[in-house]
Amino acid sequence: MIDVPMLPLNDGTTLPAIGLGTYRLNGAQGVVSMMDAIRSGYHLIDSAVNYENEGAVGEAVRRAGVPREHLRLTSKLPGRHHGYAEALQAIEESLYRAQLEYWDLYLIHWPNPRRALYVEAWQALIEARARGLVRSIGVSNFLPEHLDHLITETDVVPSVNQVEMHPYLPQHAQRAYHAVHGIVTESWSPIGRGRELLQEPVLVNIAEHHTRSVAQVVLRWHVQMGAIPIPKAASPARQAENLGVFDFELTAEEMAAVATLARTDGRLLGLDPATHEEL
């Protein structure tokens, strides 16, 4: 089993340097995929109320046989529950579905700025942490302006911001903001959803040079950028491949070559947190 390095969070806890994405891992098949992943060394699991697989996460954890305290289980609050009381209930329901006593990390899934309730949602997450329902709290898809608002209103800095990130969208400004505030960046769609990105000649060349797969090169790039990638893979073979990124290093020249892939608007699905509504 691969030993994944642990990274410190600003609240004194830690997260593994890579996690498992679970969007579309549902039901019995999802349980088997997640259980395989946990046994092979994925100790950070990314779920969400809206993925409808929190039950599968809990079942996979119970079957995997890895001590609960070694795991970092994540879920996310949907936009329809941003009101304070509703958010707390949503977190309780989320625990009941997973049959867990606590989540290690709970995130506000999207800011939904037009609804203007994300500060209330954040106050609910702060309270959920005080009540022991969650250990660490953070956000997802929050732009610096949204983070500024949360911090000004509550004085509580999120531990994590999970954002879309891959070589087409390296998130320079966002990561600079995170660095100043001690927020850890998690990368969603880290391998570009396994599509066009993995055919890029620049990446194929680097992969050939290291005798690695292109997915491994991209995931190693995230690690060296200081972000935590959460690739989703259903099969044990791809899960193991994606985990194998801690025994080689990209040179400064290779990192610079990957940087040439950045696009002005690299969002794969055009989901802009300033306008996107996800309920």
The answer to whether residue 26 forms part of the interface with ligand NAP (CB under 6 A) is no
Q: Do residues 30 and 86 make contact, with C-beta atoms less than 8 angstroms apart?
A: no
Helices (H), 65-213: 84-98, 118-130, 144-154, 172-181, 201-210
Site for ligand NAP contains 199 (CB under 6 A):
no
Residue 132 or 185 with smaller CB distance to ligand NAP: 185
**The token pair that represents 12 in the structure block:** 């004194």
168 is known as an active-site residue: no
Element housing 225 (H / E): helix 214-225
Considering only residues 58, 138, 158, 192, which one is a binding residue for ligand NAP as defined by CB under 6 A?
192
| 200-239 positions binding ligand NAP, by CB under 6 A | 213, 215, 230-235, 238
Q: How far apart are CA 72 and CA 95, in angstroms?
A: 14
- Looking at the Cβ atoms of 245 and 252, the one nearer to ligand NAP is 245
| Span near ligand NAP by CB under 6 A; candidates 2-10, 58-66, 81-89, 187-195 | 187-195
As a whole number of angstroms, the distance between CA 163 and CA 140 comes to 6
Specify the DSSP element, H or E, that contains 40.
helix 27-40
Of the candidate residues 53, 140, 159, 171, the single one contacting ligand NAP (CB under 6 A):
140
In angstroms, what is the minimal distance from the CB of 184 to ligand NAP? Answer: 14
Q: Taking CB under 6 A as the rule, does residue 113 contact ligand NAP?
A: no
Name which position in 83, 144, 194, 266 contacts ligand NAP (CB under 6 A): 194
193 binds ligand NAP (CB under 6 A): yes
Burial of 20 from C-beta contacts in 10 A (0-12 / 13-18 / 19+): buried
Residue 73's closest CA among 87, 89, 84, 59?
59
By rule CB under 6 A, what count of residues binds ligand NAP? 27
Nearer Cβ to ligand NAP (158/231): 231
Should residue 158 be labelled a site residue for ligand NAP when binding is judged by CB under 6 A?
no
The answer to whether the beta carbons of residues 77 and 120 sit under 8 Å apart is no
Among the listed residues 42, 51, 106, 168, the single catalytic one is 51
Determine if 251 is a binding residue for ligand NAP (CB under 6 A). Answer: no
Beta strands in the chain (DSSP E): 6-8, 14-16, 20-21, 44-46, 72-77, 103-108, 134-140, 160-164, 184-188, 228-229
Residues classed as catalytic: 51
User: Which residues form the interface with ligand NAP (CB under 6 A)?
Assistant: 21-23, 46, 109, 140-141, 162, 188-194, 198, 213, 215, 230-235, 238, 241-242
